[in-house]
Amino acid sequence: MPKINGNEIRPGNVLEHNGGLWSAVKVDHVKPGKGGAFAQVEMRNLRNGSKLNERFRSADKVERVRLEQKDQQFLYEDDGMLIFMDSETYEQIQLSAELLGDRRPFLQDGMTIVVEFHENEALNATLPQKVTCRIAETEPVVKGQTAANSFKPAVLDNGVKVMVPPFVGQDEDIIVNTETMEYSERA
């Protein structure tokens, strides 16, 4: 595995540190008036989700891990485990529903997601950035109301609450950004 200097760490990098696999969430480069520059790195453990703040000087070497990304198709859920199938080999894998966290309701039957593996161990799952959902309930459209920075609450068919523009009505399809969990556009 390639080693990189402490000042080359970027958000999103996966590092092997203290015997665990960590994802760099936030990186601040600090240049104090006295002493050498360093990178203050906030990291999240990919196996158990714990967080760690660590300082890396530019002379420090750290192992950078490359994760293998595979497309997996969602089949079904069974006792808190999500069952996926590899699109190429048709092998099935099980992942904990907790891996997706609060984005779990956006997972739909047959949806293809990207699962990141390290030595055949699934560590992370990423949903498509935009997902189409139907509005289950919202306030009725009010004529004459302008769309200038006014939003109203809506409940989607998967139970998630989002804010939508006033012109969007009930039983309409909208596109939701799964990263920000916000309304993106009409479908």
pLDDT tens for the 187 residues of the chain, in order: 688 888 888 888 889 998 888 888 889 988 888 888 899 999 988 888 789 999 999 889 999 988 899 999 999 998 888 999 998 899 999 888 887 878 889 999 999 999 888 888 888 888 899 999 999 999 887 666 665 677 889 999 999 999 998 888 889 999 999 888 899 998 8
Which tokens hold the place of 58?
Answer: 């530019």
Confirm if 10 and 24 have CB atoms less than 8 A apart. Answer: yes
pLDDT score at 144: 64
Domains of the chain are: 3-65 (2.30.30.30), 68-126 (2.40.50.140), 130-186 (2.40.50.140)
pTM for this entry: 0.72
